Structure formats: C-alpha cells, structure tokens
C-alpha cells in the first residue's frame, strides 16, 4: 500500500518528481487537403502529416509538449494508455477545457512506462479526420525483447466524407453503409438449402432484431491505410535477411478492426498495449480499435513479404511490404468471402425479450459535436428492453438489476466463469482457420512478469447496451449526460465485469489505469488499456484504483463513444490523503 501511494503521488508531481531533464516537443494541428482516394478532400493534420510524427520518449524522462491549435474549432490531445496526472490526460470536459482556436497548450508529465502507444484528438470526431500519431517509449533498463531493427505501423480507416456526415447518415439509417444486404435471390438460395419454413423463420428473427445477417461492421466503404499509405502506395519497411524485426502495430482507426498476417512469416507476439508478454507465435492476430501489439518476425530469405490487414467484413484491405530494397513487392493475398451471420452466431439469449421499437424519449434530431463529450445529448431511456431472459454461461439473469450493483461483493455473481476465455478471439469471430493456421486469442496473453494484486473487494457490473437501428450506444441503458460518474476509492481493488448485450464489438478503454484482463492467466494476467468485448460476451478485468482524479471510460469505436457509450470515472482520495498544490499538476497556455 505504501509503495502504491508513493508511486501515485510521484506521478502526480509530474515534472517536479526529479526525473531526467525534460525533452520538449512541438505539435501543431492544422487544416489540410489530402488525396487518398484519387480526389482532394479536406482533412486535419499534425505537423502537416497524417498520421502525425512518431514521438519517441525515454522511460524516466520528463516531457514538455506544446500543442498549437490552428483549427477554427476547439481541439485537444490525449496520450492514449499513458499513466499521467489527470490534468494532462487531454479530455475536454473532464481533464480541461480543450485547446481553443489559435492557442497553445503545454503538457508536462513524467514518462513512467515504456512500450508502444499512440496519441489522438479527443474533441468531436477529429480523430477520424487525421489527428493521431504513434508513440514509442524506450525502457530505462535493458529491453527483454531482442531485435535488430524496428518499424512502427499505425493502421487507420479513411473516408472522403466528413466524419459528421458519416455519423449523421448512421443516425438516419443505421445500415446506410451496408452495401452487402441480402437480396431475394439469397432468400431463394436459402430456401433450397434450408427449406421454406426455416428460411422464413430466420428472416423473421432478423427482422425482430432490426438487423441484417450482413451487419458485420457499422461503416463500410473506407480506404484502409498503413502509415497513411493506401494499398497502391505500398508503404515499405526494410530488413536484412536473418534480422529480428520488431513490428509495432497500432490500430488508430475510428471504427475498423483488422485481421493481420504476413504470408510466409510467423509472428511472435511479445507485447500488447505496451506491456511485455510471454512470447506467443501465431500466423494471424486481430487488433481491435485502439489496441497495440508488438511482434517479432525473422525473414531469412532475400525477398519481399506482404503485411496484409483485412477488416472484419473483408470489404477491402490495407497492405505494406517488408523488403530488402525499396520498390520490391510481394503477392497480395485474396480476400476471404464477406461473412454472413447465421442464428448460430447469435449469443444465446442475448437478444431475447429486446424490443427495439419502444425506445421512448429519444431525441435524435440534432447532435452537436463540441469539445465536451456528448454534452446535452438525449438518446432516450431504452424503455421496453427486457433482459430477464439473458444468460451468463448457462444460468439465467432473471430479476437481476445490473445498474444497481455498485456495492456488490466480489464473488457474489455465481454461475459466471470469468476465466474461461481461452477460446475467445480478441476481435470478431474469425473465419475457420485452416489446419496449422494459428490465430491469437486473448487467452494466449500472459504477462512476462507476474502481477501480484490483492483479491478484489467488490465487483462492478457494466452492461454494454444500445440500439443499432436508431444508432445510439450506452452503458447500463444510460447515456453519458444522464449517468452518474463511476466512483472508486483510492487504491480500492475492484473486479469490473462487462456484459455485452449488443450485437456489436466494443473496445473499452479506461484512462489513467491498467486493466488486468481476467483470462485464466492467474498471477500473469496481462495489463491492457483497451479490452475488446465481443457480442453477447461477458469479460472481466481487475483494477487497482491508484490514480486519483477524474478520468474518461468509453468504447473506442468513435461513433459509439460520440452517441453515448461513455462514462466519467472518479477516484476519490482517502480522507487522510494530501494532494500537491494544483499548480504542480497543471500545464499552461502560452502564446494564446
């Protein structure tokens, strides 16, 4: 306890904690014009580029980052996955007011970790417009991962439409971007295979859920990029045969999960979300929005290899090349068929009793995106939703009020198996892998070093809720503006359990803390800053609430966060705790 408290206060003291001499970095957010799809389109850039520059820090140094906003709207910068003072976290409406047009905000904080991370705007939908970049932090001590060279690969999704237009289209018609809807010819094909009665029953069930079997992702039509390059531009990373090459993958997309493979090379996963893991060798891994994975590859031949990343619906791909010389390329794998869901893919009981048409009190007429997350937005109360027939494992949840479980003691949710995640893929349900083709699962993730934390004192259950037809997302049926903050006591140990009652993936991100994923690894639970929760799934993590202050907690799918799947977390100090003066925690404005 003494060690944790000292560490927390040291982090809060920031640049006054006595670390190395501060390094100073300057970032400028500007409007720009890009040509990614063959036509010029307005965008936003950091230091003139999309993505912004790769920032390289050293563990133990104190950094000063001047961020200048040249936009005509408020902006911000969030240091994703960083353990930093809350005032430096960069979330308008929680950390600070944001960076007004023409102003510069100075961030000051110590670097108390190492690994692969990223940074992005937390204002409006600017992240989708290009305000993001990668971060690499070298360790203070010898790196346990041996490699000869490295490449940072940040994936993203791009649309020539303004992000506000995309969101408006989704709210008017949730399947606006579903270009693969089933037709009458598909129905006749189903009749041949399943019979008339079964085909009609299946269509009826999909109709009751207000879904289509091709509703795999919210938005299609994206151009997928690696390091800002489209497939034709073919970003290339060099190597010499026999070298161990570290590839630092970051998913900086707004809405897209990727399946990543490098035909001809095995990948050894050595880190997730900046945290070292016991090495695991795979042929493919899925990366949720905002996650980061480090892999080691060792190409021994003097030839090119394609780094191939396909979205969950196989509607396109991003690609780059590993080669011994610029200009070389390798064959691009064929895309798998676009997936079509069946009732067998539906989580048992997850949709039972859900009335999608009775979401009363919902005002979708006007959605104002400003520098305060979801402020003043009314998405309704989701009345009419019956969760009594949902199941956890094989036990019904009848009569359970998930929204009032704040005081629940850990262990009281009998029937829930928190550790049986070994078969769980971290992204969408993957296509059937060929024999010998290994895909990374969350159950494969084991921390390189043990994490000795005390047993959780209580359990907090958070239901991930929403309505795809009307396109809004929530937690425990409440939108952000209606919900009370989630409160933890300083250094409290809590098990947080997600129950995804929706038919969409949700990559959940908690600011300022590590989430220890409960995946059967016991003392070697991996620490993550993003945990993906698949449709109908129950996933838990253990938390030590050691970071005092106010923090954001949200789904990292940009349009899910913007329409309500967001909470404020408050870690309250113990009565006897004394905090350093506020002046030591704040950055400041210069040249404003």
3-state secondary structure (DSSP) of residue 82: coil
Q: Is the peptide bond before 510 cis (omega within 30 degrees of 0)?
A: no
Of 65, 76, 200, nearest to 135 by C-alpha is 65
Beta bridge partner(s), residue 417: none
Task: State the distance between the two ends of the chain, measured CA to CA, in whole angstroms.
Answer: 42
d(CA 89, CA 109): 10
Contact predicate 204/264, CB 8 Å: no
pLDDT < 70 stretches in the chain: 1-22, 174-194, 198-215, 339-435, 575-592
Beta bridge partner(s), residue 539: 498
Question: How many CB atoms are closer than 10 A to CB 26?
Answer: 12
pLDDT value, residue 514 = 98
pLDDT value, residue 212 = 54
d(CA 574, CA 553): 22
Residue 313: both structure tokens together? 């619906």
Of 442, 453, 451, 438, nearest to 419 by C-alpha is 442
pLDDT in tens, 223-254: 999 999 999 999 999 999 999 999 999 999 99
3-state secondary structure (DSSP) of residue 91: coil
Contact predicate 470/359, CB 8 Å: yes
* Kind of pairing between the strands at 267-272 and 292-297: antiparallel
Residue 85: both structure tokens together? 């003072």
Give the DSSP letter of residue 167: H
pLDDT in tens, 336-391: 887 665 555 555 444 443 433 333 333 333 333 333 343 333 333 333 333 333 33
d(CA 369, CA 510): 22
Is residue 232 packed enough to be buried (19+ CB in 10 Å), middle (13-18) or exposed (0-12)?
A: exposed
In the chain, the domains with their CATH numbers are 2-143 (2.60.40.420), 145-178+214-339 (2.60.40.420), 391-430+448-572 (2.60.40.420)
Query: ∠ CA 69-72-74 to the nearest 5 degrees?
Result: 60
d(CA 79, CA 105): 14
d(CA 320, CA 318): 7
Of 440, 404, 435, 408, nearest to 422 by C-alpha is 440
pLDDT value, residue 339 = 64
pLDDT value, residue 393 = 36
DSSP sequence for 295-326: EEE---SSS-EEEEEEETT-S--EEEEEESST
Query: ∠ CA 195-196-200 to the nearest 5 degrees?
Result: 120
Residue 278: both structure tokens together? 């016991």
pLDDT value, residue 551 = 98
Mean pLDDT computed over every residue of the chain: 81
pLDDT in tens, 433-487: 566 899 999 999 999 999 888 899 999 999 999 988 889 899 999 999 899 999 9
Task: Answer positive or negative: Cα dihedral of 370, 372, 378, 379.
Answer: positive
Of 235, 248, 262, 247, nearest to 331 by C-alpha is 262
pTM more than 0.95: no
Residue 451: both structure tokens together? 């994490």
């Amino acid at each position: 306890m003494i060690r944790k408290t000292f560490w927390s206060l040291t982090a809060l003291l920031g640049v006054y904690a006595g670390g190395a001499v501060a390094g100073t970095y300057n970032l400028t957010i500007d409007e720009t014009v890009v040509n990614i799809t063959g036509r010029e389109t307005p965008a936003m850039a950091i230091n003139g580029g999309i993505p912004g520059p790769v920032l390289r820090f050293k563990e133990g140094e104190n950094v000063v980052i001047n961020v200048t906003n040249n936009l005509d709207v408020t902006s911000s910068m969030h240091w994703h996955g960083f353990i930093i003072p809350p005032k430096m976290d960069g979330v308008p409406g929680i950390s600070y007011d944001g960076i007004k047009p023409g102003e510069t905000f100075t961030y000051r904080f110590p670097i108390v970790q190492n690994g692969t991370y990223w940074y992005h705007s937390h204002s409006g939908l600017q992240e989708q417009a290009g305000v993001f970049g990668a971060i690499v932090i070298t360790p203070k001590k010898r790196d346990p991962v041996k490699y000869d060279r490295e490449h940072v690969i940040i994936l993203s999704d791009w649309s020539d439409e303004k992000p506000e237009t995309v969101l408006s289209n989704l709210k008017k018609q949730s399947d606006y971007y579903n270009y693969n809807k089933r037709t009458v010819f598909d129905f006749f094909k189903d009749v041949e295979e399943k019979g008339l009665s079964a085909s009609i029953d299946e269509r009826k069930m999909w109709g009751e859920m207000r879904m289509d079997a091709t509703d795999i992702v919210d938005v299609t039509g994206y151009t997928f990029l690696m390091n800002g390059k489209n497939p034709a531009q073919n970003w290339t990373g060099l190597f010499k045969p026999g070298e161990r090459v570290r590839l630092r993958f970051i998913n900086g997309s707004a809405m897209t999960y990727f399946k990543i493979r490098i035909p001809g090379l095995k990948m050894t996963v050595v880190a997730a979300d900046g945290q070292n893991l016991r090495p695991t060798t795979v042929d493919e891994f899925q990366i949720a929005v905002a996650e980061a994975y480090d892999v080691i590859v060792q190409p021994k031949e003097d030839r090119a290899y394609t780094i191939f990343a396909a979205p969950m619906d196989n509607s396109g791909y991003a690609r780059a090349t590993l080669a011994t010389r610029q200009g070389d390329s390798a064959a691009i794998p064929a895309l798998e068929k676009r997936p079509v869901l069946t009732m067998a893919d539906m989580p048992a009981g997850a949709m039972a009793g859900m009335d999608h048409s009775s979401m009363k009190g919902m005002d979708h007429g006007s959605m104002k995106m400003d520098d305060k997350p979801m402020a003043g937005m009314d998405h309704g109360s989701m009345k009419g939703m019956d969760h009594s027939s949902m199941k956890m494992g094989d036990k019904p949840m009848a009569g359970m009020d998930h929204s009032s479980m704040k005081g629940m003691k850990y262990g009281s949710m009998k029937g829930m198996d928190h550790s049986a995640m070994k078969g769980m893929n971290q992204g969408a349900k993957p296509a059937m892998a060929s024999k010998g083709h290994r895909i990374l699962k969350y159950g494969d993730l084991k921390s390189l070093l043990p994490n000795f934390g005390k047993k959780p004192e209580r359990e907090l259950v958070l239901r991930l809720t929403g309505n795809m037809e009307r396109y809004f997302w929530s937690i425990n049926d409440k939108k952000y503006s209606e919900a009370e903050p989630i409160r933890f006591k300083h250094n409290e140990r809590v098990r947080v359990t997600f129950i995804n009652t929706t038919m969409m993936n949700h990559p959940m991100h908690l600011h300022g803390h590590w989430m220890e994923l409960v995946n059967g690894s016991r003392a070697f639970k991996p620490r993550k800053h993003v945990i993906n929760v698949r449709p109908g799934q129950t996933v838990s993590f253990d938390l030590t609430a050691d970071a005092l202050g106010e923090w954001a907690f949200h789904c990292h799918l940009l349009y899910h966060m913007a329409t309500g799947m967001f909470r404020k977390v408050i870690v309250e100090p113990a009565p006897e705790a004394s905090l350093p003066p506020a002046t030591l925690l704040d950055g400041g404005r210069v040249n404003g």
